[in-house]
Amino acid sequence: MTNAMKTQDEKNQITVTFPDGNTREFTTGVTGLEIAKSISSSLAKAAVAISFNGVQKDLSDTLHENGQIGIITTKDDEGLEIMRHTLTAQVLARAVKNLYPSAKLAIGPTIDNGFYYDVAFEKALSSEDLVTIEKEMRKVIGNGNTITKKVMPKAEAIALFKERNEPYKIDIIERAQGDTVQIYFQDNTDFIDLCVGPHLPHLRKMGPFKLMKIAGAYWRGDSNNEMLTRIYGTAWRNDDELKTYLTQLEEAEKRDHRKLGKEMDLFHLQEEAQGSVFWHSQGVTIYNALQDYIRRRVDAADYKEVKTPQLMNQKFWSQSGHWQKYREDMFVVPDVVPNTEEDGPVFKEEPKEFLALKPMNCPAHVQIFKQGIKSYKDLPVRMAEFGCCHRNEAHGALHGIMRLRQFTQDDAHIFCREDQILEESKSFCKLVESIYKDLGFEDYTITLETRPENRVGSDELWDKAEQGLMDALDQINFKYTISEGDGAFYGPKLGFIIRDAIGREWGCATLQLDFNLPERLDATFIGEDGEKHRPVMLHRAVLGSIERFIGIMIESYAGKLPLWLAPTQCVIATITTKADAYAQELYEQMKKAGLRVELDIRNEKINYKVREHSHKKVPNIFVLGAKEAEEKTVAIRRLGGKDQDIMSSEDAVKQMIEDAKPPF
């Protein structure tokens, strides 16, 4: 072979690297499906897409450069998402057009556990219509059509969708970057859809699914635009996964903290104070018990509690970088004196400065650290605060006490030297482990979230910060996964994700290592050399939002909170008036012992009383009749139990006192 022929032959070859590190040569223009077939026919049969140099592609896409490949199947999480994407864009959308030809398709992305599609209908849908649509979807899947793709110029695509009277697709195309878009077709049909893909190669690979609900959604999330109908669905690899998910949803509905909060008389929410909680007496009892527990834990760990202002001048937030990044999520007020006139207060001039309700506590804690001169011997300084924060969350994002505009963080900041980072990080991780065990959450994972694209500080500082957190986890043998690009704008962070009683995951504790904020807010200490140095800041929280954590606990425990947290630990309920005096005596004794006890001597049947208090999740009910009054005993009915125990009142109270002790 001549050198010229060899050079030409080399130009027609690409090198593909597989996940195991092995490489192979392929002819340029090879497809993902052809590469899968070259490995095994079973892999080609299972394949749904590929990942090439980190970008997902259809199996039919041709490759023209060297790169790393991964063959994606529905066993992979990426494959499941592609299946869900195909289900919404190629099955749900087509079923809707089959049934409602005049409907206008908007967008249909995947979401956690499923998908949705926004559609403009001439007439409003009802939940009963979902049954009809789901039946049509199964017919579409049953045809097993092949899905093909065409890349076409934007102008040609716009003309195509104009013919079909699809204004939302035209809007998407006009806003899209680049000169071309992707259009997906189904063989033997006139259905098309606009999509970035990838999609399954054909509908025979579709897994089980179920349409869940309908809701309203503004086009592009803008309330000035028209309201569309959003159809939600879920899809899984197999029937067992679908059944498990639907069972979990049923259980989650029973455990909904909003429903239980009302039944247990803990709190309520109102339109007039969106995103803020009206805590009732019973709810405040839980709140205070949990906060007092955390207070004891941080006090034992040598944190000093502080309290900082709600309103601070914008300059602090500008210096820290929060103003530039979070301004739209902050509540601000003009920092000027109003001129009071007969028609009410007016401003003499346009405000030049603003005050902001604090969305977090860190800049305020730096101000306390800066009071007085700090020596290297004073470090670490561990500063804790149950800080009330405000964030301007969108109305649609609010959810009970889980997502609020006003909430309290069990926040703390550790100011330390670089040589103290390791020990302080290790100590915090062990503190989280201990607290979560006390609260009943021993199943959790840890993520290390690294530098985001938009960040402050040099790469050198970020290298040190990320390595510092990794070293701490490695030394105490805590397993973790890396989440690229999800760190805070000022530093990397550890995220602790707990798993509740029904398998749902909640991100709670966090530790953020920050070299940048002390620099931006001019925090210093005097080093051993007599010179000024910058401290390192560790931002940390164990519960995160106290309100949210209470919501998580209510749902995980299904309202049956540990006795030390239960707002009412015992109800003394009488069967007959002959036991009233004994009940009153026992009530006074238990109150004096510090137990949270209620007395129910109403003229109601005992079964009614037991049912009512059980509905409110009271852990223990002491049932007293004439016999118990005579023998100084109690019949104890425990929440969720079928039988009752008979004990002397003395032993019963002693046991209650012991069982009600907080874990620390």
Q: Regarding beta strands 339-341 and 30-31, do their DSSP bridges make them parallel or antiparallel, or are they unpaired? A: unpaired
362 is catalytic: yes
Active-site residue, from 84, 493, 617, 637: 493
Q: For residues 377 and 415, is the Cβ–Cβ distance under 8 A?
A: no
| Residue from 120, 124, 95, 122 nearest 107 by CA | 120
Whose tokens are 């592009």? That residue is 220
Active-site residue, from 85, 202, 297, 391: 391
388 is catalytic: no
Cα 291 from Cα 468, distance rounded (Å): 30
Cβ neighbors of 22 (< 8 A, separation 6 or more) are none
Cα 24 from Cα 631, distance rounded (Å): 87
In residues, how long is the chain? 664
405 is catalytic: no
Whose tokens are 């601070």? That residue is 312
Q: For residues 553 and 617, is the Cβ–Cβ distance under 8 A?
A: no
Beta-strand runs (E) in 299-338:
304-305, 311-313, 332-334
Distance in Å from the first CA to the final CA of the chain: 81
Q: How many other C-beta atoms lie within 10 A of the C-beta of residue 419?
A: 10
Cβ neighbors of 394 (< 8 A, separation 6 or more) are none
Cα 462 from Cα 473, distance rounded (Å): 17
Active-site residue, from 195, 362, 508, 570: 362
Cβ neighbors of 247 (< 8 A, separation 6 or more) are none
193 is catalytic: no
Produce one character per residue of 646-657: b if its CB has 16 or more CB atoms within 10 Å, e if not.
ebebeebbeebe
413 is catalytic: yes
Q: How many other C-beta atoms lie within 10 A of the C-beta of residue 53?
A: 12
Q: What angle do CA 643, 647, 649 make, to 5 degrees?
A: 130
Cα 563 from Cα 566, distance rounded (Å): 5
Q: For residues 63 and 29, is the Cβ–Cβ distance under 8 A?
A: yes
Cα 130 from Cα 260, distance rounded (Å): 29
539 is catalytic: yes
Cβ neighbors of 119 (< 8 A, separation 6 or more) are 96, 100, 103, 104, 105, 106, 228, 229, 230, 231
Q: For residues 559 and 264, is the Cβ–Cβ distance under 8 A?
A: yes
Active-site residue, from 358, 413, 534, 616: 413
Active-site residue, from 410, 411, 500, 514: 411
Element (H, E) at 631: helix 626-631
Q: How many other C-beta atoms lie within 10 A of the C-beta of residue 618?
A: 26
411 is catalytic: yes
Active-site residue, from 56, 186, 282, 409: 409
Cα 57 from Cα 193, distance rounded (Å): 17
The 3-state DSSP class for residue 20 equals coil
Q: For residues 620 and 637, is the Cβ–Cβ distance under 8 A?
A: yes
Q: How many other C-beta atoms lie within 10 A of the C-beta of residue 446?
A: 18
Contacts by 598-605, CB closer than 8 A, 24 or more apart: 598/568, 598/570, 598/571, 598/572, 599/571, 599/572, 600/571, 600/572, 600/573, 600/574, 601/573, 601/574, 601/577, 603/577
Cα 85 from Cα 387, distance rounded (Å): 42
Active-site residue, from 539, 548, 596, 616: 539
Q: Regarding beta strands 354-357 and 406-416, do their DSSP bridges make them parallel or antiparallel, or are they unpaired? A: unpaired
Give me the phi and psi of 295, to 5 degrees please. -60, -45
Residues with active-site annotation = 362, 391, 409, 411, 413, 493, 539
